[in-house]
Amino acid sequence: MQRRSNEIEEEEEDGRRGLESVRESQLEGRSSGTVSMNGEDSVYVGVGKGDSSMEALRWAIDNLMTSSSTLLFLIHVFPETRFIPYPLGRLTREKASQEQVESFMSQEREKRRTLLLKFLHTCSASKVKVETILVESDSVAKAVQDLITILNIKKLVLGIDKSNARKATTMKGNSVPELIMRSSAADVCEVKVICQGKEINMEQATMARSPAKSPIAHRQKKDQPVDPFACICFISKPKTNR
- Phi (first) and psi of residue 164, to 5 degrees: -80, -25
What's the pLDDT at 92? 93
pLDDT tens, 91-127? 999 999 999 999 999 999 999 999 999 999 999 999 9
Q: Is 146 inside any structural domain?
A: yes
User: 66 falls in which pLDDT band (50, 70, 90)?
Assistant: confident
Q: How many CA atoms lie within 13 A of 23 on its CB side?
A: 10
- pLDDT tens for 133-148 read 999 999 999 999 999 9
Please count the structural domains in the chain. 1
For residue 70, being part of any structural domain is answered with yes
Half-sphere exposure of 202 (CA within 13 A, CB side): 31
Q: What is the pLDDT of residue 106?
A: 96
Answer yes or no: are the C-beta atoms of 60 and 193 closer than 8 Å: no
The pLDDT assigned to 207 comes to: 52
In a domain? residue 236: no
Question: Is 228 part of any domain?
Answer: no
For 28-56, the DSSP string reads: SSS--------GGGEEEEE--SSHHHHHH
Whether residue 98 is contained in a domain is answered as: yes
Cβ atoms of residues 181 and 191 within 8 Å: yes
Q: In this predicted model, what pLDDT tens digit does every residue of 18-60 receive, in sequence order?
A: 333 334 433 222 233 334 455 568 999 999 999 999 999 999 9
Residue 155 in any domain: the answer is yes
Q: What is the CATH number of the domain that holds 138?
A: 3.40.50.620
Residue 172 pLDDT grade (very low, low, confident, very high; cuts 50, 70, 90): low
Least confidently predicted of 135-139, 151-155, 202-206, 232-236: 232-236
Kindly state whether residue 24 falls inside one of the protein's structural domains: no
Contact 155, 192 (CB under 8 A): yes
Average pLDDT over residues 144-169: 89
Q: Which of 3-12, 194-203, 212-221 has the highest mean pLDDT?
A: 194-203
Q: 177 lies in a domain? A: yes
Full domain range(s) for residue 177: 42-200
Tell me what pLDDT residue 20 has.
34
